[in-house]
Amino acid sequence: MNQDVKEILYDEAALARRVAELGKAISQDYAGKDLLVVGVLKGAVVFFSDLIRAIETPLEMDFIAVSSYGRQTSTTGKVRFIKDLDVSVEGRHVLIVEDILDTGNTLKYLYDVMCSRKPASVKICALLDKPSRRTAEIDADYVGYVIPNAFVVGYGLDYAERYRNLPYIGVLKEEVYQ
């Protein structure tokens, strides 16, 4: 275990099982549909990579990048667009894949942007959901785990661009980010 991690919430095996379950559900829901899976960079990239391999229906993938955290532990409330999609979503079924649904500000922004582009549908898949911190009215259609209000890292999630490569999701010690 990394010395900066207080406790492990979900180990590699638990993550693999849950991603497989999500992939199966998504495969069933999107069977026969024109699916575009949109990964939100950078945090969702590890989850996204495992998830798309667990989805058994044909899909196309693309990435979008936004920021509302910078190098802080809480959102600034201002969403900044860094990279847009390379493909059109018009008439397509869009699945936004995010690492964590926290305040909901970022995902609400992305959801609204995607909906304005005339897709057939837009749904959200979040590995982690932290409903205790929600300030925007938005929910994920697919959720890996509901977690308590703790600062988590690993499996793509970071603090100041570190810890993304941990193979598990753990709670970061408070002294690291205070």
Mean pLDDT value of segment 31-54: 97
d(C-alpha 55, C-alpha 53), whole Å: 6
Q: What is the pLDDT of residue 77?
A: 63
- What is the pLDDT, as a whole number, of residue 153? 97
Q: So what's the pLDDT on residue 178?
A: 85
CATH 3.40.50.2020 for domain 5-177, yes or no, is: yes
- Average pLDDT score over residue span 128-141: 95
Measure the CA–CA gap between 105 and 98, rounded to whole angstroms.
12
Q: What is the pLDDT of residue 113?
A: 94
Beta-carbon contacts of residue 151 (< 8 Å; ≥ 6 apart): 73, 159, 171, 172, 174, 177
The model carries a pTM of 0.92
Q: Which residues on neighbouring strands pair with residue 170, listed in sequence order?
A: 8, 153
Which pair of tokens denotes residue 124? 């959200």
pLDDT category of residue 68 using cuts at 50, 70 and 90: low
- Phi and psi at 136, nearest 5°, equal -100, 150
Q: Which residue has the tokens 């926290």?
A: 102
Pair of tokens at residue 146? 């509901």
Q: Is the per-residue pLDDT at 76 higher than 60?
A: no
Compute the distance between CA of residue 57 and CA of residue 54 in angstroms, rounded to an integer: 9
Cis bond before residue 123 (omega within 30° of 0): no
Residues that are catalytic = 102
Pairing of β 35-41 and β 59-67: parallel
Q: What is the pLDDT of residue 81?
A: 81
Q: Which amino acid is at 166?
A: L
